[in-house]
Amino acid sequence: MAKESGLGWTTLSVDDSAGAVKAIKNDVTNFEFATPRGVQDVTGVDKSAIERILLLADFSIDLNGVYNDAADFSHAVFKTVPSTSVARTVTLTVSGQTLANECIFTDYALSRNTDGALTWKAPGVLSDGAVPTWS
């Protein structure tokens, strides 16, 4: 196993509101995702240190990109976030490793910066209760 950079993502796709997969990696400039687990403190009074157990798994993603209103690109995917309540498959692939999750997106925020750049951000969270699993 070799160490690798984060360059050259094979797949970064998000379903549009109709459930059609859209490859938007060219519009995405940066993103963060997390696969946290809940933790419960189960420390009894007989302990001198904290005892914990793992709880539910989760997934969240924050996508950031450049505005592109061409058909099948980022604006077409996210423009329906405020008007639809649908889960969308988010698929990430790097170095042959894939993480796919059903997510709801909670915002599609556009920003016109002082230099004239038009950018967007779209946060998403796990929607279907399936444990995030790399394959």
From first CA to last CA, the distance across the chain in angstroms is 16
Asked if 96 contacts 52 with a C-beta cutoff of 8 angstroms, the reply is no
Provide the residue range defining the domain that includes 116: 11-42+52-126
Q: Stretch 61-84: mean pLDDT, rounded?
A: 97
Q: Which CATH number fits the domain that encloses residue 37? A: 2.40.30
The tally of domains found in the chain comes to 1
Instruction: Write down the pLDDT at residue 73.
Output: 96
Average pLDDT for the chain: 96
Asked if 78 contacts 92 with a C-beta cutoff of 8 angstroms, the reply is no
**Domain for residue 68, yes or no?**
yes
Instruction: Write down the pLDDT at residue 2.
Output: 82
**Domain for residue 5, yes or no?**
no
CA separation (Å) from 16 to 25, 28, 64, 95? 14, 15, 16, 25
**Domain for residue 131, yes or no?**
no
Res. 1: pLDDT tops 70: no
* DSSP per-residue letters across 52-109: EEEEEE--EEEEEEE---STTSHHHHHTTTTT----EEEEEEETTEEEEEEEEE---E
